[in-house]
Structure 1
Amino acid sequence: DLSTVQTPNVAEERARIEASNGKVARESHDAPLRVWADVPGEGKLGVAVSRSIGDHPLKEFGVVATPAIVSRHLSVEVDHCLILGSDGLWDYVTSAKAVSIAQDAYPDAAAAARRLIRLASVRWKRAEG
């Protein structure tokens, strides 16, 4: 598993955010932790991730674009696929389930991607109402 969690739930991420005057809190008791900041000219902004390519107004409050990097040597004999996804996938599909779907669809990567999108979408709609 090459995934790393990049949310304010992670102690190191939260510490960086709070050191930059960002606030970490939930919008409601069942909502995910978010990074909050009062941004001049923008108002109160909140995101559920601690690293983002976008969300530029929150950069000064500890939301960084620097990726968490994991390095691994891949072997064609062992590693048959590499699944890349954002929180829209990983919040709703475990790595083990994603691998199972990819293995079932192998060698059709497009079919695997469609199944992963469909599953994440169904689970997101169920969770969010």
Structure 2
Amino acid sequence: MMDADWIPFHPNPKTPDFVVQEGAVDAHCHVFGPVAEFPYAPERKYTPCDAGKDQLFALRDHLGFSRNVIVQATCHGKDNRAMVDACRAGGDLARGIASVGADVTDEELADMHDAGVRGVRFNFVKRLVDAT
């Protein structure tokens, strides 16, 4: 269940008043769940509404962006499956940024690279992560 103070995504966003340049990239966006398939991390600091890859891609297209860089949401912790799934589904239109721990394996990194992940996220925002 999402946090009571979480504002769900707008079901009918306005089209921008300007034309986004061809080839423009949404360089920082997230997928949230769906929780039934991609559970949120027990250590999360917030619980959003489900807003998976289908909603993200529909928003990208509606706003006029050509591609996405999908950044691992902290509510999913180091379980990158939702982000990787979205990158695979997005094909050449999506790339990803993962959150990993010191225990990540070369095989896991190679699999994420094959899905389109091209970087890792280091999050130092105290309200979103634990002391480590």
Q: Which TM-score tier does this pair reach, normalised by the shorter chain?
A: under 0.3
Q: TM-score, normalised by structure 2?
A: 0.25
Q: TM-score, normalised by structure 1?
A: 0.25
Q: Considering Cα pairs closer than 8 Å and 6+ residues apart, tell me whether 1 or 2 has the greater RCO.
A: 2
